Amino acid sequence: MDVTLNIRRFDPGVPQPESYWQSFDVSIEDNGTVLDALIKIREDTDGTLSLRCSCRSSICGSCAVRINGHAGLACKLQASAVMGDDNVITVEPAGVMPVVKDLVVDFEPFWEKIRAVKPYLQPQGLEPESEYIASNESMLHLSSVTACIMCGACVSDCTVLEVDPTFLGPAALAKAYRFTADPRDGDTDGVSKERLQDLTQATGMWDCTRCTECVTACPKGVAPMDRIMALRDQAIAAGLTNSNGARHAEVFGELVGHSGRLDELKLPVKTVGMFNIPAMLGFLPVGIRALIHGKMPSPIHKNIEGVEGFRRLYKKAEEAGEE
């Protein structure tokens, strides 16, 4: 099968380095992967092409790149499945992380965040002589998260990290969840309150905007965003409601539950607190911009029609949720 790879390249060794596109025509087996094509180029045509790759079977996490604009493992995707009618595939380095050379990016920021969540089991009780007793279901659930191979595909396509490099990000938060959800971690009831406390801080679990890009990008079905949402549930269940994120969730429900729709003016005010002057001042520029562009919500917030019926429904849903 003939395929054309359009590769975004970068060589830091030249004066005033800039990235550029280079295209390679290569012939691979019909069921060959994008990685097979990249290796063929490197071996037969151009040894200067740098990329990380090793296992060829989606387990070492080395070869995450952007293929046709989206992050994925080059060794997992068959070329025939991703090439367009013209047999062209574009390959770029993973996003968010700085490019070192060609398809190689600097993973240090990634590892720094993994280290930041104290990524090791911290049991508080006495260690049993033999294994910890735990249900198979609890371990299977954890294994669906520990299946993460740290390839960075989720981080590459995270829309929050793109604008806020301080966000812990999907991989580190999923890693953190792997411990908070572990019955062996934390106190003897398996509650890891200190971890959750740390993760409710700014840059933590409440900074995810739920865009689902990480769920799409993950080649191992880890669904990092779902883990972040589970972290939020754990935090609230542990009584950690004193954060903007937790209050935002709470106020959101309260407002919608009352009037049947969101009061967009009250949401930020009630989230940070009316008397939180610095935060209120912080809203000013956004408010002014909204006003200029005619996007300021009406100060008069009306209930939806038939709000009584809605409130009954809402209450029922809330009760069901608690059960």
Partner 1 sequence: MLEHDVLVIGAGLAGMRAAIAAQTGGANTAIISKVHPVRSHSNAAQGGINAALTDRGDEWEEHAYDTVKGSDYLADQDAIEVMCKSAGQALIDMEHMGVTFNRDDEGRLGTRAFGGQRRARTFFVGDFTGQALLHVMFEQLVKSGIRSYEEWFVTSLIEEDGQVCGVMALEIRTGKMHAIRAKALIFCTGGLGRAFEPSTNALIVTGDGISLAYNAGARLMDMEMVQYHPTTLAGSGVLISEAARGEGAYLLDKNGERFMEAYAPNMMELASRDVVSRSEQTEINNGNGENGCMFLDCRHLGEALIMEKLSQIREIGIDLAGVDMIKEPIPIRPGMHYMMGGIKTDVDGLTNVPGIYAAGECACVSVHGGNRLGANSLLDTIVFGQRAGDHAAAATRSKEFVNFDGSAAVKKEEGRIQQILDRPQNDDRVANIRLGMGQTLNNNLAVYRNQTGMEDTLRSLGGLRERYAHVPVDNKGAVFNTDLIFSLELGFMLDCAETITVSALDRKDSRGAQARTDYPDRDDENWMKHIVTNKGEEGPEISYLPVSITQWTPEVRSY
Distance CA 217, CA 155 (A): 9
Q: Does 50 bind partner 1 (CB under 8 A)?
A: yes
The smaller minimum CB distance to partner 1, of residues 105 and 249, is found at 105
Closest contact distance (angstroms) between CB of 27 and partner 1 is 15
Site for partner 1 in 84-103 (CB under 8 A): 100-102
Choose the binding region for partner 1 from 6-14, 229-237, 273-281, 292-300 (rule: CB under 8 A). Answer: 6-14
Which range touches partner 1 (CB under 8 A), out of 47-55, 166-174, 187-195, 235-243? 47-55
Sign of the Cα torsion 142, 144, 149, 153 reads negative
140 binds partner 1 (CB under 8 A): yes
Interface residue with partner 1 among 7, 34, 51, 83 (CB under 8 A) is 51
Per-residue interface string for the shown chain with partner 1, residues 65-84, x marking contact by CB under 8 A: -----------xxx------
**62/234 with CB nearer partner 1:** 62
Q: Which is nearer to partner 1, 93 or 260 (CB)?
A: 93
Which CB sits closer to partner 1, 131 or 305? 131
- The least CB distance from residue 198 to partner 1, in Å, is 16
Interaction between residue 115 and partner 1 (CB under 8 A): yes
Toward partner 1, which CB reaches closer, 98 or 273?
98
Question: Among 15, 126, 136, 298, which residue sits at the site for partner 1 (rule: CB under 8 A)?
Answer: 136
Comparison of 133 and 300: residue with beta carbon closer to partner 1: 133
9 is an interface residue for partner 1 by CB under 8 A: no
Other C-beta atoms closer than 10 Å to the C-beta of 93 total 26
Q: How far is the CB of 127 from partner 1 (least distance, A)?
A: 6
Q: Which is nearer to partner 1, 75 or 272 (CB)?
A: 75
Q: What span, in angstroms and rounded, lies between the C-alpha atoms of 314 and 308? A: 10
Contact between 59 and partner 1 (CB under 8 A)?
yes
Q: Is 146 in the site for partner 1 (CB under 8 A)?
A: yes
- What Å distances lie between residue 218 and 111, 206, 316, CA to CA? 17, 20, 35
With beta carbons less than 8 A apart as the criterion, state whether 219 and 151 touch: yes
Residue 135 found at the interface with partner 1 (CB under 8 A): yes
Under rule CB under 8 A, residue 132 binds partner 1: yes
Q: Residues 6 or more apart from 309 whose CB is under 8 A from it?
A: none
Is residue 189 close enough to count as binding partner 1 by CB under 8 A? no
The values of phi and psi at residue 39, to 5°, are: -65, -40
Closest CB to partner 1 among 185 and 213? 185
Contact set with partner 1 (CB under 8 A): 11-13, 29, 31, 33, 42-44, 46-48, 50-62, 76-78, 100-102, 104, 107, 111, 114-115, 119-121, 127, 130-136, 139-140, 142-143, 146-147, 149-150, 179, 182, 184-185
